[in-house]
Structure 1
Amino acid sequence: MARITASVYTSHVPAIGVAVDQGKQNEPYWQPLFAGYEFSKQWMQDNTPDVVFLVYNDHATNFSLDLIPTFALGCADSFEIADEGWGPRPLPTVQGHPELAAHIAQSVIQQDFDLTLCNRMVVDHGLTVPLSLLCGNPPMPGGRWPFQVIPLHVNVVQYPVPSGARCLALGQAIRKAVESFDGDLDVQIWGTGGMSHQLQGARAGLINRQWDNAWLDRMVADPQACAATPHIDYVREAGSEGIELVMWLIARGAMADLAPPASGKVAAPRVRHRFYHVPASNTAVGHLILEND
């Protein structure tokens, strides 16, 4: 059967992608941030999956205030790089896995989650920056990403947005779906976005190191309590864009220790790497790699 072997969590700051594309990784401002991903890049080479199920939020490239799906699953066989106003990033097309995506859609919808199914999507920095951070940019032309990708867009832009508890439960449903797929696939699930940041208003530039790190502690050790965090806490403590962290809970929900029924017999996942850094374009950057025991 297919199996989820690990979960990866990272911020998806657009300026990080620009820094990679322009070769600025060793500049004094950027070097400390990219140093925090050196372990992860080697870990990815040593643990390359067949498929990455990548949870992110679209930034008005596929969806606008005219159409706001809460959860939108990319079911296409490929996903072109979006033009976010400065031309598409110099990256290869992202290859999908339509067979697994269709199976996940069938299973998750039968578990009473309403998904929007997308047979055509473009992917913006929410998805491409995590790929660059963990894999580097493949050489162009002719480069390829080292695995296939199934994108899941989550609405964290326009309220109402899904609760942390709903996101954690969706991760559990995704795990069940993956494990029922009739194929030998190594799957990782990635949660992206966050951490504390606010891009507008009187609190623009807000960073809350203490809250961010306490949230990471809880997400690893007590994800149910973390999922109970009300939306107002994210806004007050982590800024208006801190709500992106609910997407990390989808990835956390897919780990083995939360597979229902909760028997208490499965150990918590191993923390293979943890990194936190500020600032990166007025944003706190968080990063985790968790492996199933």
Structure 2
Amino acid sequence: MAKIIGGITTSHIPAIGIAMDRGLEDTPYWKDFFAGYPPIREWLGEQKPDIAIVFYNDHGLEMFLDKKPTFAIGCAPSYDNADEGWGIATIPPVTGETELSWHIVNELIEHDFDPTVCQDIKVDHGLTVPLSLMYPGHNYQHMKVIPVCINCERHPMPKPSRCYALGQAIGKAVESFDSDQKVVVFGTGGLSHQLDGERAGIINADFDEECMNKLVSDPEALTRYSNDELVEIAGAQGVELNMWLAMRGCMLGKVREVHRNYVAPISNTGAGTQLLLNE
């Protein structure tokens, strides 16, 4: 059967991609942030996973406020990146995966999840920045990617508990897939941040550290928060924790943390990254 070997959490702020394009990784502002990624890249190079399931949220490129699915999953052979409206350079297409993605869709529907199935979808920085971080120079096209999009922008949004349950259902689907492929799961976005309004710039580093601790040892404790509580504690975009919870839900074995980094503020964000092994 296919096996989920580990999970990775990472910020996906667009400024990261710009910093990489401009060669700013070693500048004082960015150095501590980028220092968190070489151990993860080394692990990926050693393990050579075949497939990445990436939980992300679309920021208006493909799913705007007029059409906002709660959960969506890509089943396409490839995914193009596109300008999101502010002149960010597009990058090479992402290689899709079709057999496992359709298996996941069928299993989700069989177990009472009803995702929007996307056979043609463009992906934004929520997905491409994490891939670029893990494979500098846009050297990610060897990796087959299954994008799973979670609504973190428009109310009503799925609850943390529901996102965690989605991850559990996807983890079970992967384990039932007749293949010897290795799968890694990305939880992207977060942690605490708010980009607009009176509370713009809020960062709750104590809560972020609590989330990173509990993601390892007690993820169900995080599922007891409501989205309103997450907004109050961690800012309007703090609900992106839901992508991390979906990632964690996929890992059904004993989970062990082998790497962590946290830097704040980075582009008005509490930026954390973790490497979790699914044993």
TM-score range, shorter chain: over 0.9
* Partner in structure 1 of residue 195 of structure 2: 199
Once the two structures are TM-superposed, the CA of residue 118 in structure 1 deviates from its matched residue by 0.4
Q: Contact 1:81/1:89 (CA < 8 Å) preserved in 2?
A: no
Q: Contact 1:196/1:242 (CA < 8 Å) preserved in 2?
A: yes
TM-score, length-scaled by structure 1: 0.92
> What are the ranges of 5 or more consecutive residues in structure 1 without an aligned counterpart?
258-267
| RMSD across aligned positions (CA) | 1.2
Q: Could you tell me how far apart the structure 2 residues matched to 1:40 and 1:2 are?
A: 21
Q: Contact 2:132/2:140 (CA < 8 Å) preserved in 1?
A: no
- Secondary structure of the residue aligned to 2:79 is strand
Q: Which amino acid aligns with 1:277?
A: V
Once the two structures are TM-superposed, the CA of residue 87 in structure 1 deviates from its matched residue by 4.2
Q: Could you tell me how far apart the structure 2 residues matched to 1:214 and 1:187 are?
A: 27
Q: Contact 2:83/2:90 (CA < 8 Å) preserved in 1?
A: no
Q: Could you tell me how far apart the structure 2 residues matched to 1:104 and 1:277 are?
A: 34
Once the two structures are TM-superposed, the CA of residue 49 in structure 1 deviates from its matched residue by 0.6
Q: Could you tell me how far apart the structure 2 residues matched to 1:58 and 1:236 are?
A: 22
Per-residue CA shift, 1:192-229, capped at 9, x if unaligned?
A: 11000001111110111111101211121111111111
Instruction: Say yes or no: does 1:274 pair with 2:270.
Output: no
Instruction: Say yes or no: does 1:157 pair with 2:172.
Output: no
* Partner in structure 2 of residue 65 of structure 1: 65
* Partner in structure 1 of residue 55 of structure 2: 55
Q: Between 125-134 and 225-234, report the one with greater CA deviation.
A: 225-234
Once the two structures are TM-superposed, the CA of residue 97 in structure 1 deviates from its matched residue by 0.5
Q: Which amino acid aligns with 2:190?
A: G
Once the two structures are superposed, the pairs formed by residues 154-233 of structure 1 within 5 Å of their partners are: 154-233=150-229
Identity of aligned residues (%): 47
Q: Could you tell me how far apart the structure 1 residues matched to 2:215 and 2:261 are?
A: 14
Q: Contact 1:81/1:122 (CA < 8 Å) preserved in 2?
A: yes
Instruction: Say yes or no: does 1:32 pair with 2:39.
Output: no
Once the two structures are TM-superposed, the CA of residue 137 in structure 1 deviates from its matched residue by 2.2
Specify whether residues 225 and 144 from structure 1 end up closer, same or farther in structure 2 by C-alpha distance, changes over 3 A only.
closer
Once the two structures are TM-superposed, the CA of residue 151 in structure 1 deviates from its matched residue by 0.2
* Partner in structure 2 of residue 285 of structure 1: 271
* Partner in structure 1 of residue 79 of structure 2: 79
- Secondary structure of the residue aligned to 1:213 is helix
* Partner in structure 2 of residue 263 of structure 1: none
- Secondary structure of the residue aligned to 2:173 is helix
Q: Which amino acid aligns with 1:217?
A: N
TM-score, length-scaled by structure 2: 0.97
